Homo-oligomer: A and B are copies of this chain.
Amino acid sequence: MVSDTRRMTDLSDVTARMRDFTDAREWARFHDLKSLTLALVGEVGEVAELVQWLPTDQAGGTMPGSHLRERLGDELADVLLYLVRLADVAGVDLGAEALKKLATNEERFPATHYRSVAPERR
């Protein structure tokens, strides 16, 4: 589990830094919705490769300092960076949308009803 002492990371900060990073290299012209989605897919693929053969009894989490945790940290960061960039290009306020979706899900899946019942697929 994540330490309670970690510092805050504001999604709009990460978004702004990715935008600056992109602009400074004049890479914005490569960053259309399709290319960025493909880049996101590539990074998610790397996450999948890290966990695909994990035995069930090792898939529950990672050990602090383990190679797997370090590799996952690296790849999940890549996923987030392309995700915020894609949202920025799409004109989507990712943080606001996530909070809105959380509220929707809290209503859609009442805790008393869904306790311990696997989420149904839509």
A residues sitting closer than 8 Å to B (CB atoms) are: 1-3, 6-12, 14-15, 17-18, 21, 24-27, 30, 32-35, 37-54, 56, 59-62, 64, 69, 72-74, 76-81, 83, 86-102, 105-106, 109, 111, 114-119, 121
A112 to chain B minimum Cβ distance, whole angstroms, is 9
Contact B53 A47 (CB under 8 A): no
Write out the residue numbers on chain B whose beta carbons fall within 8 Å of the beta carbon of A92. 2, 62, 69, 72-73, 76
CA distance A10 to B7 in the complex (A): 10
Asked, given contacts A2-B12, A6-B96, whether A87 binds B76 with beta carbons under 8 Å apart, the answer is yes
Write out the residue numbers on chain B whose beta carbons fall within 8 Å of the beta carbon of A59. 32-35
Contact B88 A2 (CB under 8 A): yes
